[in-house]
Structure 1
Amino acid sequence: MSSPSSPTPDDRRHAESDVFNQPRMRAYRLERIRAQLRAEDCAGIVLSNPINVRYATDSVRSTIFNLHTPHRYAFVATDGPVVLFDYKHVANRPDHYGDIPEIVDEVRPAKSWTFFGTGSRQEEKAELWADELADLLRAHGGGNTRLAFDRLDPIGNAAICARQLTVANGQKIMELARAIKSGDEIAGMKIALAVAEAGMAQMQDHLETGITENQLWSHLHKENIARGGEWIETRLLASGQRTNPWSQGSSDRIIRAGDLVAFDTDMVGPNGFLADISRTFFCGPGRPTDTQRHLYTLAHEQIHHDMALLKPGLSFREYSDRSWAIPDEFLHNRYACILHGAGIVDEWPKIPHPLDWEAIGYDGVFEENMVVCCESYIGRENGREGVKLEEQVLIGPDGPILLSQYPFEEALLDA
């Protein structure tokens, strides 16, 4: 896919690995959280979303399981320790596992109170959980009783409030903390993007008539896991008529000559960084039709127009208002947003199309070192096919810096 003089995905991955400094990144992230805690006048935060536990502690264990059955959690004091609550066997022998980052001051056995694990004893176990957190806050909160939570079910909320603690919004704190990336985070993200693009190249190399969507999609998963990546958030790959409307998951459909194949990587790669790129390929032999080229060219125009707008100080509303005007015939099937943040996964902000602003828009301002993804889907209502494209972009001091490097298909672009 690259010319002999162009860096390959492996070249880029190794180059960024020399720059990426995990201990320095961990210290930066912890200070980002604490700055937001101070801004919200909180003495600490309890994190049970494994994405946030990862951000605060850089500790990973059974991420997908904990997304639906949260067992592990972390306490971060604004001025005090970082305490990781892990599985009992890990907490009893943290030295044996050797994967507890230096940013963690203490590892304790988790007092989980999910219904899966505690059943009819859920409220009893939540009381024990709340007692321990209240003790930590009183020991390290300096008299401040405001404690933030990124997730809190009704039973847990009742237990915390019964201990005269004030519950604060931890989702806001964590999304704002995660929004501005350090140099190490950007280097880590480039590693993940290089891995994703190596997988995309494998997909394109194996794209031929007769392969199923699932078989094609497996090449991205294989490259990600083989190169130290973690998981893929969705199954967004579709071919032929399944490309319109968008958001259909990969299937056993056999791809045929002349089909468009559209996908969105949504890949969490090495070191827990998101690589979120969309491309649409053409399955040969043969040449794309005029309609296919028209759809692709419009999507290409949209993301490049919208990327060029990005700069520090631009408001979210201004960005939406100045975004590429989608032709009327494609408005019905427009993508859910024109831009979203990127870090470990999709992150704040999410910017809607101008016609959706009054319903779901919220304001804010782009800042230097935000990483965002510009999105486009072009497909007519009841049309046969559609095109999905997406680029991942760093907001530099003077404007956009493209992070994703995978080439577009010249055969699908109008002259």
Structure 2
Amino acid sequence: MQTVKPTYPDVEGSHRILRDPISDTTLQAVRHYRLSRVREQLRRHDVPAILLYNPVNIRYATDASNMQVWSAHNPARYALIFAEGPAILWDFHNCEHLSAPLGTIDQVRGAIHWAYFGAGPRVSEKAREWAIEIADLLHQHVGKAQRLAVDRLDPEGVAAMGAHGIRLTQGQALMEQARAIKSAEELELIRWTIRVAECGIQRMADELRPGMTENELWAWLHFENIRHGGEWLETRLLASGPRTNPWMQECSDRVMHAGELIAFDTDLIGPYGYCADISRTWTVGHVPPSPEQRRLYRLAHEQLRHNMALLRPGLGFREFSERSWPIPEAFHANRYCCVAHGVGVADEYPAIAHPGRDWQGSGYDGVFEEHMTLCIESYIGGRDGEEGVKLEEQVLITRNGCEPLSRYPLQADWLD
């Protein structure tokens, strides 16, 4: 039997740019829903405000986006969201105009960049200046309240806030809980991002040939994402042949050879800042798999389908872990880091640990809820094996179970 190259509907061969289906009405609904989710969490935890530095959290709360990757390691933008009060954004130098059309921000100010890159030896001085401004706003809008949630903060900032009697509390947990439940309009954005990612996957399938490098193939996913308005790839997880086992080896200039496995994980931040996190495994040249490659693929597929079938609203994380597909001993050492994880504007809460020692070391309980979006993970590669198979599906929790959001086909002909 000849292996058939997988194809995504209406894309294979044409590589046309798809029309963006997202309306301004949808975007406005998403923005206001997300901001309301943040404020709901603040009220639930009796915290009057949250200070955000993580650019993904700023994007979620306000939809303000500016140099997202750069801002992730240069803390030069921040936002203060009040439970009962304004949403204030401090943006990079002369960037106040970028957030004017959003409708979620009440005031934009110029940021005080007190990290070492911006302040050098004046870090402490600039941090004190920054803290005075934040403390004044808290006093103005909250009065004598002394609690402030923060998602991340360098030590000088903690000390500067403490000097004003402000007690800091963990804000990332609040943001993860806010982000966990998706609105109908958010799902429109997620489906569009996944469609863009699958155009990139199809382009890789069409371009894949023996003799090209892993980097050359990976570039096509970037290309399709960017030309459709996407933003970046979180990782570079594409590997071929012996580099597929163990997993987590990022793509390189290795030349790929006919018949080897090639596996990848998109980890793609696409249009409007949403994540498409899908994994597929093929053979280089789309030739029929060997018996061993077919065996690995069948096991990975079985793990994926078994765990997807368990999902439903009200199911506990621990019960899901305990009932998850039992990984054969030969593949346990190289197992993926989790059974499943949340996904939205990035990888998100929850992360479900494998049963046994993994659960004892890092597991935590909770409950799956309707309108959560998750990624179900599988990696099968023996400790002494030559290759491995990586599969991953992005799904939506519905009242009846789970609905696959990723439509790009698996290799059904490998399961015969």
- TM-score bin, normalised by smaller chain: over 0.9
Distance 1:196 1:101 in 2: 26
1:317-336 equivalences in 2 (<5 Å): 317-336=318-337
| Correspondence for 1:254 | 255
Q: CA contact under 8 A between 2:64 and 2:99: conserved in structure 1? A: no
Equivalenced residues, count: 409
Counterpart of 1:76, as a letter, is I
Q: CA contact under 8 A between 1:88 and 1:109: conserved in structure 2? A: yes
Question: Gaps spanning 5+ residues in structure 1: where?
Answer: none
Question: Could you give the per-residue CA deviations for residues 1-45 of structure 1, whole angstroms, max 9, x where no partner exists?
Answer: 7889x5659999758535970111111111100111111111101
| Correspondence for 2:40 | 35
| Correspondence for 1:289 | 290
Structure 1 residue runs of 4+, over 4 Å off? 1-4, 6-16, 97-100
Distance 1:11 1:394 in 2: 28
Alpha-carbon shift at residue 220 of structure 1 (Å): 0.2
| Correspondence for 1:25 | 30
SS at match of 2:178: helix
| Correspondence for 2:392 | 390
**Alignment of 1:107 onto 2:105:** no
Distance 1:307 1:14, change over 3 A: farther
Alpha-carbon shift at residue 287 of structure 1 (Å): 2.1
Alpha-carbon shift at residue 111 of structure 1 (Å): 0.9
Match of 1:405 among 390, 404, 407: 407
Q: Which moved more, 1:277-286 or 1:104-113?
A: 277-286
Distance 1:289 1:2, change over 3 A: closer
Distance 1:106 1:154, change over 3 A: same
Alpha-carbon shift at residue 59 of structure 1 (Å): 0.8
| Correspondence for 2:237 | 236
Counterpart of 2:388, as a letter, is G
Match of 1:58 among 63, 71, 87: 63
Alpha-carbon shift at residue 88 of structure 1 (Å): 2.7
Distance 1:136 1:400, change over 3 A: same
Distance 1:348 1:88, change over 3 A: same
| Correspondence for 2:122 | 121
1:296-315 equivalences in 2 (<5 Å): 296-315=297-316
What is the RMSD computed on CA atoms of the aligned residues? 1.9
Question: Could you give the per-residue CA deviations for residues 204-257 of structure 1, whole angstroms, max 9, x where no partner exists?
Answer: 111111111000000000000000000000000000000000000001111101
The TM-score, its normalising length taken from structure 1, stands at: 0.95
Q: Which moved more, 1:300-309 or 1:82-91?
A: 82-91
SS at match of 1:178: helix
The TM-score, its normalising length taken from structure 2, stands at: 0.95
Q: CA contact under 8 A between 1:82 and 1:104: conserved in structure 2? A: yes
| Correspondence for 1:358 | 360
Alpha-carbon shift at residue 286 of structure 1 (Å): 4.1
Distance 1:61 1:14 in 2: 24
| Correspondence for 2:270 | 269
Question: Could you give the per-residue CA deviations for residues 361-415 of structure 1, whole angstroms, max 9, x where no partner exists?
Answer: 01111111000000000000021000000000000111101100000123432x1
Distance 1:315 1:139 in 2: 42
Distance 1:45 1:12 in 2: 39
Alpha-carbon shift at residue 144 of structure 1 (Å): 2.1
Percent identical pairs in the alignment equals: 50
Q: CA contact under 8 A between 2:6 and 2:410: conserved in structure 1? A: no
Question: Gaps spanning 5+ residues in structure 2: where?
Answer: none
| Correspondence for 2:50 | 45
Q: Which moved more, 1:7-16 or 1:248-257?
A: 7-16
SS at match of 1:89: coil
